[in-house]
Structure formats: structure tokens, C-alpha cells
Structure 1
Amino acid sequence: MSNSSNFLNDIREAKGQLVVGPNVIPNALPYVGGGLVLTALGTYGGLTVIQTNPGIFMPSFIVALIAELVLFFIARGVAEKANNSTALPLLATYSLLSGYTLSGLVYVALGTEGVGMQGIAFAALGCGVAFVFARQIGSNLSEQDGLALTQTIQMALVAFLVVILAQVIFSLFGVYTPNWLEIAISGFGVFLFCGVAVVDFFILPRTYRDEQYLSAALSMYLTYINLFVFILRLLIAIFGRD
């Protein structure tokens, strides 16, 4: 799962605050779109490596993953200072690396009967539909309802991160998640990040000033990348079952 600590950090900073950046989301949206395009390019690059030189993919994946995690914290810190000219190339590089590390999952989806390219398109469409509904709902939440939903999503996200971490640790020891449990985890991930998408439209204008649009863009980018990942995981678990 892509790094979600940005969302939890936003919640801590936004509690009890009024709107400080009424235009931060409109300012951020072009950069969210640009980041997703770069992620697609990174994914294409990763798929090319898998198909042409599979032996180097895993070592390069590990290097890219470590670089992605390090770059995330550097880019977030720079973006929060509204140093946008420096943050932009960092976030662009982060998006490319994110796409490269995502290519393994996409490769599995392409090779799963019943998923394939149409499943990837469905996952992307699902993210677009979630954005439309999340914008309508999240932008119209009252302060009381918005804070209540935010706190609920925060608790669920923390618990979910623990589950995902346990799943990764078990897999390192050769203990893999049963298919029915993978379906349940992935389905809950889809539901959870739809909720995060709603909360983004409530919380980001209360967290970031208008000139901090790259920080808001990073938060929204992570939301939709994670949503895409869990929709794809759900499809693979359903159609790839034994």
C-alpha cells in the first residue's frame, strides 16, 4: 500500500481549525492529474522491465521502493513549506517511482483471467467515480459531521495499516493470506479509501493554505493511488481464486 501517513498528519493538524485555504483543492487538482499521468508512465516502464529483463526487476523494485519512501518524507516537508519550485520535481520523481513499484501488481492483473486491461480500466474508472461523489459529499459536510467522519476514518485507517503490515510480515515467512480473507481485506480497503476521499475535501482546506497546494495534491494523490491498488487487488482476488 502506498504511504498513507500524510493523511494521518493532515488530520492531526486540521482538528479544530476553520478553513484556511478555500482554493487549495482547485489549485492542487492539476498536479494530482499530472502525478497520476507520471505514475502511469512509471508503471509502463516497470512492465517493460518485467517483460524484457525480468531478472533485474526485483532488485530494481527494492531500490525504487526505498527511494520512494525516502523521497516521500523529503518532498512532503518541502511542500509543506510552500517551496513549490523545489517540491514539484521531487513530487514528479516520487510519482514515477510510485508507478514503477506499482507495476508488479499491474502485471499480475494483466495476467489474471477476468481482470486484464479491462480490470485496470475499471479500477481507474472507479477512482474517477469516487472523486466525483467524494467532492460532492465532502465539500458539503458540516463541521460536526466532518470531524466525526474524520475521526472514524482515522481510527479505521490506523487499524487497517496494522493489518496490512501483518499481512506483509507473514508473507515474508511464506504464510499467505487465504483468498477469502484477501477479498475481505481488499474490499475493506476500497471502502476505507472511498471514505478517505470524502474526508480529503473536508480536511485539506482546513489544513493547508492556498499556496500549499502541492501538499494537498500529495494527499489526494495518495488517496486515489491506494484506492486504485485495492480495487485492483479485489478484482485479482475475485477472478484469480482457485
Structure 2
Amino acid sequence: MSNTSNFRQAIAEARNQAIVGPNVIANALPFVGGGLILTAIGTYGGLQVLQNNPAIFMPTFWVALIGNLILFFVANSVAQKGNNSVALPLLATYSLLTGYTLTGLIYVALTTEGVGFQGIGLAALGCGITFIAARPIGSNLSDQDGLALAKTVRLGIIALFVVLLIQLGFVLFGIGTPTYLEIAISGIGVLLFVGAAVVDFYVLPRTYKDEQYLPAALSMYLTYINLFIFILRLLIAIFGSRD
């Protein structure tokens, strides 16, 4: 999940601000793409570990997850200060670890009839189409509409995060989530992160200068990854219920 405190800070900084970085998104996009490639490499490595040495997968998964959380805050802090030469390798490592932590979800998708590689490709394509469509919408929002949408999405993501924590608690106690509820949670997640994609194109040029492309790239990367996760979860829930 994306960091909600960072999201609130970005909205606060965007309030009543003119565009300060007209080219920041264009500058950030190559780094978003590079991060996604590294994420795919990390996932491929995780699948290899899961297939060839499954006994060590879970221990390494938890190490990667903890390292991923620590790296997020460290890399984001460094990037916010404009130290791009230090932030870039940290963000690259963060992207690789993110891919490793997605291994379980990708494995479930690959082994769910009706999803497989085509479902993963569809989720990735859906994210790409969303960002293409979100750019003109978010860039042309009025301040009133942009801030209203940002607040709505922010509150929705916080509520979704709470629901996911409750769901995780149920899983730890061996209580499964009914299919209809998983479909509802995943569907709401998709809608919220589609909204977050639109918000990115409104908020980021008002928050970051052109040379602050790395924190902007991190924000867009998180939106893309979360949208991908919820589209894939939705597909797994829909097709898995047919088995």
C-alpha cells in the first residue's frame, strides 16, 4: 500500500499552489518504467526461488518485506531532499524487493485457471491504459475538483488499508474471506487507485519542481503497483470462484 502520510503531505502542499514543475511527470516517467522492469525481475527471481527451493522462500519473503518497508521510508526521505545520486540506487533496490514480495500473488495468478499469464498481462495493460487516460483528466482538473478528488481518494485508501489489516487478521486466525467480499474489496481498490492515478497528475506538478523527479516517480510507481495488485486480486477472485 502507498504511504498515506506522504499522500496527505502532497495534497497539503498542492493546496492553492500554482504549477511549480510542469515537466516533472515527463522527467519521472523513465524512472517509473525502470522501477517496474526491476519489479518484474524481482518477481521472476522470487518465482525461481519458490520453484527450486521453496523451503527458503517464506523466510526470504519476510526479510524482503521488512527491508522493503525500511527502504521505502529511507529512499523517500533521501529523494525528498533532492539527493538523487543516493536515492536512485535505494529506489532501484526497493523496486527489486517489491517484486520479490509480489511473488505469492503472481504465483496464485499463474495457477488460477482463467487468469495465468494473460490475466497478469491484462492487469499490466489496464494500469497502462489508466495512466494514459488519467493524464489529460488530472492535468486539467480545477483546484476545487482536484482537491475534492484528492481528499476522497485519500480517505478511501485509509479505509481500504484498515479493511486489509482486518482481513489479514482473519487470515492469521484461519478465517477465510468470502469470495463476494474479496471481489468487493478488490473492486473498490481498483476504483480508488484509478482515482489516485488521476490525482497524481493533478498533485505532482504542484508539489515537486522539475528536478524533483524521483519522489514524483515513487508516487506514480506506488499508484501503478497498487492498481496492478488490486486488478490482479479482482481477476483471481472472479475466476477462482468458478473452480
TM-score normalised to structure 1 length: 0.97
In the TM superposition, 1:1-242 aligns within 5 A as 1=1, 3=3, 5-241=5-241, 242=243
Shift in Å, 1:15: 2.3
Shift in Å, 1:2: 5.5
User: For the residues of structure 2 that align with 1:103 and 1:41, how far apart are their CA atoms?
Assistant: 11
RMSD: 1.2
Cα deviations across residues 60-93 of structure 1 (Å, max 9, x unaligned)?
0000000000000000000001110000000000
User: For the residues of structure 1 that align with 2:31 and 2:9, how far apart are their CA atoms?
Assistant: 20
User: For the residues of structure 2 that align with 1:204 and 1:39, how far apart are their CA atoms?
Assistant: 23
Asked whether the equivalents of residues 2 and 225 of structure 1 are also in contact (C-alpha less than 8 Å), the reply is no
Structure 1 unaligned blocks of 5 or more: none
Shift in Å, 1:4: 5.2
Shift in Å, 1:216: 0.2
User: For the residues of structure 2 that align with 1:50 and 1:9, how far apart are their CA atoms?
Assistant: 38
Distance 1:2 1:156, change over 3 A: closer
Task: Describe the SS at the equivalent of 2:211.
Answer: helix
Structure 2 unaligned blocks of 5 or more: none
How many equivalent pairs are there? 242
Asked whether the equivalents of residues 11 and 147 of structure 2 are also in contact (C-alpha less than 8 Å), the reply is no
Residue type at the aligned position of 2:232: L
Could you tell me the percent identity over the aligned residues? 71
TM-score normalised to structure 2 length: 0.97
Cα deviations across residues 73-116 of structure 1 (Å, max 9, x unaligned)?
00000000111000000000000000000011000000000000
